[in-house]
Amino acid sequence: MEARIAGLVRKLEETHHLTDDEYRELIQNRTPEAAELLAERAVAARQPIYGTKVFTRGLIEISNICKNDCLYCGIRRSNHNVERYRLEPDVIVACAREGHELGFRTIVLQGGEDAFFSDDVLANIVARIKQTCPNTAVTLSMGERSKESYQRLFDAGADRYLLRHETANKAHYERLHPAGMSWERRMQCLRDLREIGYQVGAGFMVGSPYQTVEHLAQEMRFVEEFKPDMCGIGPFIPHHDTPFANEPAGTLELTCYLLSIIRLIYPPILLPATTALGTIDPRGREKGMLAGANVVMPNLSPTSVRKQYELYDNKICTGDESAQCRGCLGLRMTLIGYELAVDRGDIRKS
Ligand code: SAM
Ligand code: FES
């Protein structure tokens, strides 16, 4: 490996900072040897904070009804081939309780921007989960809402919010979304969430259409500056009923490389090995963990609706019961020397 790249890795590990040009160079000139070195340093940085514990979040996909029309997303409003569903509040609470019994101490409610989930409805669901699942964090991932709405949900007991910024570059954002959706607004939502007191998850897709190395350097700058508590990154995977049906998917290799860099930028960060990573490679989640990730998010949705929450083609785990998913992931993690934690899995900032 070039001494220059090894020097950049060392600088990143020691200072948690590179210039934009240096990020570009590190990403552009990557080699398998550089990836190996980065992964080794990322695992070393994670070790004193999280050891070999893998945090789990039980994901409940509560609705695939969405008013938005993101060009990459399989459940976008314009896709008329999707059979739409929304889970009843009682069903959502029952799924959360099942998750709690299985050992999950974080429940994530995710869905499209579905007007049914008003502040009243969602706040009530959050409060019921907090009451019935002791010592459990509730994470919401329900898209863009007003600051007042985020505040109501926080007051009802929500602990965390996941809202991927999707790209740190405004012009790139505008190529991935229809007119009317705004990058500034998305970024403002992240700031609002942080101000209210949520633990905040941001994130982006790797290999999304039109993404360049410059954009990826900007992503690394964003992580350095905003320091999200969690950063969800997974490969873009085309969905056959979207305008991006024929675009190539992002790669496992680049996703793992970026996971390692992000771990070194901000060692305590929560980094999921995503379902999308497990979809493009049968051992994707394990490889993500070995590159520096420390979170997995198995599915707790009722099996009857899982195929309908198809954001991209060939999504894994759509046929399995929740207990099977947890068991399967537990085994996968054991086989690489890690273990699932029964823990809320809060970020550990020294
Ligand atoms: N509506 C909420 C929101 O906008 O944040 C949550 C649901 S949204 C479907 C969750 C995430 O799925 C998005 O932030 C996006 O990054 C990811 N996603 C959507 N389509 C995808 C695709 N084709 N490949 C990979 N990830 C995708
Ligand atoms: Fe669901 Fe493996 S994680 S079957």
CATH number of 14's domain = 3.20.20.70
Q: Compute the distance from residue 311 Cα to the ligand 1 centre, in Å.
A: 7
Residue whose entry in the numeric block shows the structure tokens 């409805």: 121
Instruction: Identify whether 350 is part of a domain.
Output: no
Tokens 């985020």 -> residue: 150
Residue 347 lies in a domain: no
Please compute the mean of the pLDDT values over residues 151-170 and round it to a whole number.
98
Atom from ligand 2 closest to the CA of residue 332:
2
Which ligand is closest to the CA of 79, given by its number? 1
Task: Give the CA radius of gyration of the chain.
Answer: 19
* 349 found inside a domain: no
Question: Would residue 185 count as lying in a domain?
Answer: yes
Task: Give Cα 313 distance to the centre of its chain.
Answer: 18
Other C-beta atoms closer than 10 Å to the C-beta of 129 total: 25
Residue 346 lies inside a defined structural domain of this protein: no
Q: Which residues contact 349 (CB under 8 A, 6 or more apart)?
A: 268
In a domain, 89, yes or no: yes
Asked whether the beta carbons of 94 and 84 are under 8 A apart, the reply is: no
pLDDT in tens, 279-335: 999 999 999 999 999 999 999 999 999 999 999 999 999 988 888 999 999 999 999
Which residue range(s) make up the domain with 308?
Answer: 3-341
What's the pLDDT band for 2 if we cut at 50, 70, 90? confident
What band does 192 get if pLDDT is binned at 50, 70 and 90? very high
Q: Does residue 91 lie within any of the structural domains? A: yes
Total domains in the chain come to: 1
Q: Ligand 1 pocket: which residues have CB below 6 Å?
A: 72-73, 110, 112-113, 141, 143, 163-164, 166, 205, 234, 236-237, 239, 276, 311-312
User: Does the residue 37 lie in any domain?
Assistant: yes
Percent of the chain at pLDDT > 70 equals 100
Query: Residues near 17 by Cβ (< 8 Å), separated by ≥ 6?
Result: 11, 224, 265
What is d(CA 317, CA 172) in angstroms, rounded to the nearest whole number?
31
**Which of 218, 213, 186, 202 has the alpha carbon at shortest distance from 272?**
202
Q: For residues 292 and 39, is the Cβ–Cβ distance under 8 A?
A: yes
Taking residues 231-251, what's their average pLDDT?
98
The pLDDT assigned to 335 comes to 98
Nearest-angstrom CA–CA distance, 71 and 168: 17
Looking at ligand 2, which residue's alpha carbon is closest to its atom 1? 325
Pick from 67, 73, 153: nearest CA to 113: 67
- Give the whole-angstrom CA distance, residue 98 versus residue 152: 26
The pLDDT value recorded for residue 320 is 85
Q: Give the angle 84-69-281 at the CA atoms, nearest 5°.
A: 75
Q: Is the CB of residue 130 less than 8 Å from the CB of residue 139? A: no
- Tokens found for residue 106: 């974080």
pLDDT confidence of residue 218 = 98
Task: Tell which residue, 264, 276, 204, 187, has the closest CA to residue 237.
Answer: 276
d(Cα 290, Cα 270) in Å, to the nearest integer?
Answer: 14
Sheet architecture: strand order including 106-111? 58-63, 106-111, 137-141, 160-162, 199-206, 230-235
How far, in Å, from the CA of 150 to the mean position of ligand 2? 32
